[in-house]
Structures are given as structure tokens and as C-alpha cells.
Amino acid sequence: MDGGRGPPFSNPWGCAVSVNVAVVGATGAVGDLMRTVLAERHFPLKSVKFLASEKSAGKPVTFAGRTYTVEPLRPEAFAGVQIVLSSTPGSVSKEFSPIAAKAGAIVVDNSSAWRMDPDCPLVVPEVNADQLHHIKKGIVANPNCVAIPLCVAVKPLHDLGRIKRIVVSTYQSSSGKGAKGLIDFANQMSAWAAGNPVPAPTAHRAQLAGNVVTLDWTLDPNGFTEEENKVVNETKKILGDATIGVCPTCVRVPVRVAHSEAITVEFHRPVSVEAARAALAKAPGVTLMDEAKGEFPQPIHAEGSDSTFVGRVRQDPSNPNALCLWVVSDNLRKGAATNAVQCAEELVKRGIVK
């Protein structure tokens, strides 16, 4: 099949609802994964189309065993579309997400353009899906790839003891820079492993092979990077508590896919390790690993998974009101594509899109 419209797909919820969907930025790394996740989760599609820049328009893409032609990103492409899953640079999002919303669609936008807009909910479905009932501009913002797993992991703990402060150090993979980052990293690793001179970086801001880089993002005037400031602001908005202190240090590490986070959570009252583990064990989206059994979250566990892996839960020896934990999540899936699709699922399940 060619052209983007086919027979209805299976509906996993046993209801009559099916939805017209457009994926914007369909040929990018996250757009490609959005196609995969939509098919894997059997999203209730009535129709689907794939949109991209003029440069990518006309290319074939596969979805659920069918072949589709990528259509150019133009205002008229949104006619009849109910949900847009968008992953484009912020400048493109600022232009086209309002156009799609004006055409009647709800846009789940993966760029940073709308995350701190007070009229756009910033949603992690396991944490604050209720915010989807307050979409004023027709745009739902998909959070940063660090803030998403951070909030999935700490929300059940926040419910136990109310968080006062979070200190987080990240170990972020090369894929955070997209396909260009992975190519850059692969070239560096090949040379480094062979004992040859490592080529100058093309996507990362310094050599990543055999190294870690803490300024792989733009440095903001407050001395924190753009990435770190996103973690501060987005975490507070997702958790719905502006009083929570957040202190991040974001670091790029020589890993292909999946971000790791060392998190210290300070509460307003003591929370035991046992209570925290019990809450995490039943928390949606969390896979709790037991170090007593030799288990601990690693990027190789998370790559290709939609779960947030949590382990090393322990008492902070310096603060009776604090716990430490280690979190790993696939930054391309749960950190981007899967979270967006889950938001779309909630829009349908809650009757917001009919």
C-alpha cells in the first residue's frame, strides 16, 4: 500500500474508537521509533500518514507490514488528522504544531519548544496523565529524555514522603545527539580501539571514546548547561511542585543507547528503603532490580525496552531523610517515542480524542 491510508488496525482496548494519526519528522531517529512503537502497541489507527521536510518527502517508509510514501510537511497535510506525533527541531515545531492544532488535531510534541508553556501540559503518563484534560493550545509537550525516567522513578517515592530536593548526576548515551552522534561515536571508537588517532568530533563537543564529556550541551548564563536547566524546570512541572529543589549534573558517556541516572532524593520526613522498594515494585513503568540477587540496572537492559529500570535503592548515610537510587532508561524509546505514543493512548482512553 502506498500513500498513507489503509484499512483500520486492530484496537487493543476492545472499543469502537479508531483515530487518524500523522507522524511528523517521520524519517528521523525518534520518528522512526514512533512508527515502531505505534505498531508494537497496536495503537487504534483508522488511518496514518507520515510527514517530513521537502528533502525527505517521497521516500518510502514501512509500517506494520505496509509501505507508505512520506508526504511533505505542509498545512494542508493536517486535514482530518486527530492526533499528531511530532519530532522536529524546535523552530519547525513552533511553526507547524500550532497549524496542526488549529486544523483540529491534538499535537504530542517531542521538541523543547512547548515544554515550559503554561498552556501546554508536560506529560509523563505514569506520573501526571490527568494533565491531558487541560490542553489549552491543542499541544501536549513530551518531556526531556532525562526528566521522563527521573519522574517515573521518583513519583511513587514523592507519594510516600513528599520530595524536598533531588540531586541527580546523569550518564547520557551518544544517541542523545541523534544519528549524527552515533556515527561520530562509532568512528571515534573504531580508531580508539585500534590504537589509531581519534578523529575530531563532528557531533559531540569533545572526544567521547574512552572519555566523558560534561559540556556536550550549550552552557547557559547561570553556569548550568541547557540540558541541566531542562531537568530542573521540567521535573518541577511534571511533579506539580515548584518548591522541589533540583540540582543536576549532566554528563555524556561512551554508551550507544540508554541514559543512566544516579539520584539522591531528600524527603520532608524519613522514608525507609523497604517502603520505597515496595512502592517502586508496584509502580507503573518501573522494573525494580534486586542487588541482593546480583541485579543492577544497566544500559544493555534498557536498550529496546519501554521500562524504567530502578535499583541500588539505599539509605543516604549522610541524611536520615534521603534515599539514593540508580535509574536506567532507553532515551529514544521511553525518553521520547514511547512516552509520546503513551500520551496519545491516554488521549483515546480518556475520551479526549473520539
Catalytic annotation, residues: 145, 259
Q: Which residues of 98-132 are buried (b: 16+ CB within 10 A; e: fewer)?
A: ebbbebebbbbbbbbbbbeeeebbbbbbbbbbebb
Helix extents (H) in 194-252: 226-239
- Helix, strand, or coil here: 107? strand
CA distance linking residue 325 with residue 246, whole number of Å? 15
Amino acid at 85: L
CA distance linking residue 335 with residue 246, whole number of Å? 19
User: Beta partners for 168?
Assistant: 248, 263
Q: Cα-Cα-Cα-Cα dihedral of 204, 209, 214, 219, to 10°?
A: -20
